[in-house]
């Protein structure tokens, strides 16, 4: 399941999880304590190792290796053939750029829009604030899947500005555009909630001092409190990045043009095309490895931040 | 944004002074972009799911939709056996996955919370499938589930996992838990770490053994986390779609079709937006009812 969308708003803390608090008294220690951990670790790691190893092997060797440990390690007749074949059959580079662009835009615009909203809800007084905040939180229990089809119908009837070399025209329907992948996912109730919680924890006296110095609210947001809210920006970015990079249902519904396909949907089409000698599993494993490795590398680099971001989505603070 | 000229910030502001008015104006400007986007791409589509279900709207139709009353809802309940298959499958999926994934995640969290050398490496490994996309994981497991695939070779089975109606849904369940369990492990772990060390010390002074400490200190301390995990796993389990679309396309003979998969087939595949919206509304009501029941069941002791 994709659990990263819409975590419910129990409360947020950005407490780092890096050094676990040792809750239990010291265990028995020794090899025995590692046994369940190792068994579980193997069950999580082996399928991924199998994917990577298979991506370098020709068809016959993948099948031949299935009965032994060789299935999980890149040994034998290794080559990049599967990767080359993927690039020959589909514009996977283009899919990659599409996903990268769409994800980056959603993350960046989302940080701006959601932090601004969170700032207003946390630090400014205005009528209807509590109702508005409660309304935003209430949207978190609505799964996207429940309104995906009405949304497709809605965006296919929205007007859009189409740019041509000799001017522009107003056309009907957002389907098959970058904007249909980006704009609906910029505002995010959970991010707003996260920012509001964090901005609340920054002393109000800072605003008052800045107001005395003649700063406006924009200056206060930009230069006074946001620089202190780094962890909230990092958490929001991580919690947005992952589900967007992995996004599948929405692009499947609104993108038909091959050149606009993101990587996940491109994968589905790649599988569906097939070849004469049956399903080319080696190539498919090459494709899945290619789109997985970048995320795993990013995850390993920011492992601590990832884990504490996820943790913050569920802890009562 | 608006500039505030007054310096009156210490006393309580009355409504309508220049300071509060400029503050409110600023606030509305700050919140406006998010508000417009949420209305456009959440509120309106949700409201549309309430109205479109009562029409014969179609994707790409030249004529505007007409009101058809409860036709779509009656069609789902009376004339669409796939709807009932989908409902049954998703109920089985939710009833199995919620306790299985939630429970296994707690076991992992307890293991990870031990004071052992190199424990971070295990945490990273357990979390790895979560950062891998569902499409990739589903494709990988589809490969492993092949008749000539890894699982049969390794364990000596001869089962066509995804093409046998009796094993298809369980196969999807195993793969889904494998992918998602690391996520809830982290949530449990965060919950475990909110329990004060002094409670364990007090319990061990009182002579409680490890099992008693777990029952009397750990479990009560995890209650808020439990409520959160219970509700979020349920909602995401109900939304099952990607695995089905990639691995089985709802088959064999509807053994793995789900409500969301059926909704997408009707709405996008056949362009029958009216019927798909009616199904969406039924789905929404089911999820809402289950969530409210869960809230009610878990609320009394909070």
CA distance B120 to A9: 27
pLDDT computed for residue A208 by the predictor: 86
B207: region left, alpha or beta (phi > 0 left; psi from -120 to 50 alpha): left
Residue A244 lies in a domain: yes
Please give the distance of CA A241 from its chain centroid, rounded to a whole number.
Answer: 3
Residue A158 lies in a domain: no
Residue A168 lies in a domain: no
pLDDT computed for residue B279 by the predictor: 95
Q: Rounded to a whole number, what is the distance in Å from the CA of A21 to chain B's nearest CA?
A: 6
CA distance A246 to B139: 14
A149 touches chain B (CB under 8 A): yes
Residue A165 lies in a domain: no
Residue A235 lies in a domain: yes
**Structure confidence at residue B98 as a pLDDT band (50, 70, 90):** very high
**Structure confidence at residue A1 as a pLDDT band (50, 70, 90):** very low
Q: Do you know the residue count of chain B? A: 302
- The predicted model gives B243-270 an average pLDDT of 93
Q: In the predicted model, is pLDDT for residue A3 greater than 70? A: no
- The predicted model gives A41-51 an average pLDDT of 94
* Structural tokens at position B2: 């608006």
Q: At A191, which CATH number?
A: 1.10.3720.10
- Which of A26-30, B96-100, B226-230 reaches the highest mean pLDDT? B96-100
**Nearest CB to B28 within list A126, A143, A192:** A126
Query: Could you tell me what percent of chain B has a pLDDT over 70?
Result: 93
pLDDT computed for residue A71 by the predictor: 87
Q: Domain range spanning residue A245?
A: 91-145+182-280+293-312
Q: Report the residue of chain A nearest B241, measured CA to CA.
A: A249
**Structure confidence at residue B12 as a pLDDT band (50, 70, 90):** very low
**Structure confidence at residue B1 as a pLDDT band (50, 70, 90):** very low
pLDDT digits (tens, 9 = 90+) for A8-36: 444 444 444 544 554 444 445 577 888 99
Q: What is the largest CA-CA distance in chain B?
A: 79
- The predicted model gives B186-200 an average pLDDT of 88
pLDDT digits (tens, 9 = 90+) for A135-179: 998 888 889 999 999 999 999 989 888 778 788 888 888 988 999
Q: In the predicted model, is pLDDT for residue A314 greater than 90? A: no
Contact, A201 vs A12, CB < 8 A? no
pLDDT digits (tens, 9 = 90+) for A251-301: 999 999 989 999 999 998 888 876 666 788 999 999 999 999 988 998 998
Question: Which residues of chain B neighbour A27 with C-beta distances below 8 Å?
Answer: 114-116
Residue A79 lies in a domain: no
Residues 73-132 on A with a CB inside 8 Å of B are 113-114, 116-117, 119-121, 124-127, 129, 132
pLDDT computed for residue A276 by the predictor: 65
**Structure confidence at residue B111 as a pLDDT band (50, 70, 90):** very high
Residue A167, strand partner residues: A164
Residue A12 lies in a domain: no
Q: Which domains does chain B have, with CATH numbers?
A: 72-299 (1.10.3720.10)
pLDDT computed for residue A316 by the predictor: 39
Q: Give the count of domains, chain A.
A: 1
- CB atoms B134 and A151 under 8 Å: no
Q: In the predicted model, is pLDDT for residue B5 greater than 90? A: no
- The predicted model gives B225-236 an average pLDDT of 90
Residue A9 lies in a domain: no
Q: In the predicted model, is pLDDT for residue B250 greater than 60? A: yes
- Helix extents (H) in chain B: 18-38, 44-52, 71-79, 81-112, 119-131, 134-144, 150-155, 168-192, 197-205, 210-213, 219-221, 223-238, 242-247, 259-264, 273-299
pLDDT digits (tens, 9 = 90+) for A77-108: 888 999 999 999 889 999 999 999 999 999 99
pLDDT computed for residue A8 by the predictor: 41
pLDDT computed for residue A169 by the predictor: 80
pLDDT digits (tens, 9 = 90+) for A192-219: 999 999 999 999 889 888 988 888 889 9
Q: In the predicted model, is pLDDT for residue B273 greater than 90? A: yes
- CB atoms A216 and B1 under 8 Å: yes
Residues 175-234 on B with a CB inside 8 Å of A are 176, 178-180, 182-184, 186-187, 189-195, 197, 200, 204, 210, 218, 224-225, 227-229, 231-233
pLDDT digits (tens, 9 = 90+) for B124-153: 999 999 999 999 999 999 999 998 889 998
Q: Which has the higher per-residue pLDDT, A70 or B1?
A: A70
- Which of A279-288, B58-67, B82-91 reaches the highest mean pLDDT? B82-91
Q: Which has the higher per-residue pLDDT, B10 or A114?
A: A114
Contact, B145 vs B161, CB < 8 A? yes
Q: What is the largest CA-CA distance in chain A?
A: 76
Average pLDDT along chain A = 85
């Amino acid at each position: 399941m994709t659990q990263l969308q819409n975590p419910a708003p129990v409360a947020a803390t950005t407490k780092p999880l890096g050094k676990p608090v040792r809750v239990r008294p010291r265990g028995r220690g020794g090899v025995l304590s590692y046994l369940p951990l190792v068994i579980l670790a193997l069950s999580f790691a082996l399928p991924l190792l199998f994917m990577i190893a298979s991506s370098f092997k020709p068809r016959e060797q993948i099948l031949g290796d299935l009965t032994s440990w060789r299935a999980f390690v890149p040994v034998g007749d290794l080559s990049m053939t599967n990767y080359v074949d993927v690039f020959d059959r589909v514009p996977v580079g283009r899919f990659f750029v599409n996903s990268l662009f769409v994800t980056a835009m959603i993350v960046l615009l989302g940080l701006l829009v959601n932090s601004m909203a969170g700032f207003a809800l946390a630090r400014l007084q205005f009528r209807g604030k509590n109702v508005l905040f409660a309304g935003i939180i209430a949207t978190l229990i609505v799964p996207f899947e429940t309104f995906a089809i009405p949304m497709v119908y809605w965006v296919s009837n929205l007007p859009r500005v189409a740019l041509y070399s000799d001017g522009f025209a107003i056309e009907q329907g957002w389907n098959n555009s970058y904007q249909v992948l980006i704009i609906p996912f910029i505002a995010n109730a959970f991010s707003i909630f996260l920012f509001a919680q964090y901005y609340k924890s920054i002393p109000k006296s800072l605003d008052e001092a800045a107001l005395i110095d003649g700063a406006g609210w924009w200056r206060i947001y930009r230069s006074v409190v946001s620089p202190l809210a780094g962890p909230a920006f990092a958490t929001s970015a991580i919690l947005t990045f992952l589900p967007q990079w992995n996004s599948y249902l929405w692009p499947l519904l609104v993108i038909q043009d091959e050149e606009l396909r993101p990587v996940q949907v491109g994968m589905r089409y790649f599988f569906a095309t097939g070849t004469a000698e049956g399903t080319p599993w080696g190539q498919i494993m090459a494709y899945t490895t290619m789109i997985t490795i970048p995320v795993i590398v990013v995850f390993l680099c920011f492992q601590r931040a990832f884990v504490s971001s996820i943790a913050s989505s569920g802890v009562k603070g | 944004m608006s500039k505030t000229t007054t310096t009156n910030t210490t006393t309580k502001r009355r409504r309508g002074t220049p300071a509060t008015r400029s503050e409110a104006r600023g606030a509305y400007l700050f919140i406006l972009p998010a508000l417009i986007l949420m209305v456009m791409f959440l509120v309106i589509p949700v409201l549309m799911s309430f109205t479109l279900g009562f029409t014969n709207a179609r994707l790409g139709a030249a004529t505007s939709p007409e009101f058809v009353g409860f036709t779509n809802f009656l069609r789902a309940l009376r004339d669409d056996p796939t709807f009932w298959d989908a409902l049954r499958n998703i109920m089985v999926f939710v009833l199995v996955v919620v306790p299985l994934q939630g429970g296994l995640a707690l076991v992992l969290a307890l293991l990870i919370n031990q004071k052992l050398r190199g424990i971070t490496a295990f945490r990273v490994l357990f979390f790895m499938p979560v950062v891998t996309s569902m499409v990739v994981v589903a494709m990988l497991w589809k490969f492993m589930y092949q008749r000539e695939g890894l699982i049969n070779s390794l364990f000596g089975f001869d089962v066509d996992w995804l093409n046998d109606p009796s094993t298809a849904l369980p196969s999807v369940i195993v793969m889904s838990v494998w992918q998602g369990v690391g996520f809830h492990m982290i949530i449990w772990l965060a919950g475990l770490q909110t329990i004060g060390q002094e409670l364990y010390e007090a319990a061990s002074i009182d002579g409680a053994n490890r099992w008693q400490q777990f029952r009397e200190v750990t479990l009560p301390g995890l209650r808020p986390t439990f409520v959160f995990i219970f509700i979020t796993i349920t909602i995401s389990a109900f939304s099952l779609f990607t695995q089905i679309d990639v691995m089985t396309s709802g088959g064999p003979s509807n053994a793995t079709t789900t409500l969301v998969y059926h909704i997408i087939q009707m709405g996008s595949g056949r362009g029958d937006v009216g019927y798909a919206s009616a199904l969406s509304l039924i789905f929404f009501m089911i999820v809402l009812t289950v969530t409210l029941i869960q809230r009610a069941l878990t609320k009394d002791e909070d």
